[in-house]
Amino acid sequence: MPPQLLHPTRTPPQAYLTLLRAARLAFGNDTKTLTAAQARIRHEFRHTPAERRDEGVRKALEAAKILRENVVQGVMEEGQEGVFRLNIHDEIERGDNERDKFGGGKCREG
C-alpha cells in the first residue's frame, strides 16, 4: 500500500472506502466472509464516537494495510483433500522463508 494511504489526515469516508476495498481484495471470492467483514466495518464506523475519530481512521488504515499485504485466502480443491488454491495477488508481502523461519536466526530453541 502506498505510504500516502496511511497518512493521518485521511477523512473517515476515505478510510472507510480504503478498508472496504482492502476487504474486497482479501475476501473477494468468499461471499460469507466478505459480507461479515463489510458488516463489521460499517458497525465500527457508525459507532466510533467523534472524539475517537482520528484514532478510528488510523486503525482502519492499519487494518486495510494488513488485509492488503498479509491476508491470503485458500480454497480446498474439490476432490483433492489437503490441496489448497491460494489467492495470492500483487500486493501480498512476500517473505524469505529462510530469513523468516525462527525469526532470522535470533530465536533460541528450548
Q: Over range 26-46, report the average pLDDT.
A: 94
Q: Give me the pLDDT at residue 3, please.
A: 47
Q: Give me the pLDDT at residue 104, please.
A: 53
DSSP the chain: --GGGG-TT--HHHHHHHHHHHHHHHHTT-HHHHHHHHHHHHHHHHTS-GGGHHHHHHHHHHHHHHHHHH---EEEPTT-TT-EEE---TTS----HHHHGGGGGT----
Reported as a pLDDT band with limits 50, 70 and 90, residue 74 is confident
